[in-house]
Amino acid sequence: MKRIKRFGVSFDGKLLGLFDSFIKARGYKNRSEALRDLARARLHSEAGIKASGTIRLLFDQREERGKSGVTSVENGHNCLISLVTRKYLDRHLCSDVIYFSGDLHRTERFYSALKACPSVKTAEIDFFESSGSFRPKSGKEARKLGWNFI
């Protein structure tokens, strides 16, 4: 069993409010769990970790506007995309499931760009370590990175 070390963290009131909103929106049980995931994601992205997974979107196609639309963002990141499935739920509402594989940092930027599209109503991402991706040189290095993928 891993031994957990404790330390204190200071936030200003506004940042703490944003952090607590993030925790609630993502369904974390506590601040420690959220902070661990944020630190782990940042360390993995800087280490060149490769990831695969899915992004699920719900968007209104009436609000698609040129370069700020979902399709345009998807086309701009086609090197990450393996497959996109689109279902039209009614005359205007669409659901996309995007299967991706690539650098974790680029994937995070892709996901952020999709969430920023005015037409997107909801967006969710699930990812895991890709096989054949970056491997630490030793078990000690892996433990330092806090490897914890699905």
Query: Are 72 and 102 members of one domain?
Result: yes
Query: Contact 84/74 with Cβ under 8 angstroms?
Result: yes
CATH number of the domain encompassing residue 86? 3.30.70.1150
Beta-carbon contacts of 143 under 8 Å, excluding residues fewer than 6 positions away, are none
Query: Are 68 and 82 members of one domain?
Result: yes
Is residue 4 included in any domain, yes or no? no
User: Cα 114 to the chain's mean position, in Å?
Assistant: 11
* Sheet hosting strand 93-103, strand order edge to edge: 81-88, 93-103, 50-60, 120-129
**Domain ranges, residue 34:** 12-46
Per-residue pLDDT for the chain (150 aa), expressed as one digit of tens each?
A: 578 888 898 999 999 999 999 888 888 888 988 898 888 777 766 667 788 889 999 999 888 776 668 988 999 888 899 999 999 999 999 999 999 988 877 888 899 899 999 999 999 988 877 654 444 555 556 555 555 443
Query: Are 70 and 123 members of one domain?
Result: yes
Is residue 108 included in any domain, yes or no? yes
Query: Are 105 and 78 members of one domain?
Result: yes
Among candidate residues 104, 113, 98, 96, the one with its CA nearest the CA of residue 41 = 104
The reply to whether the predicted model has a pTM over 0.75 is no
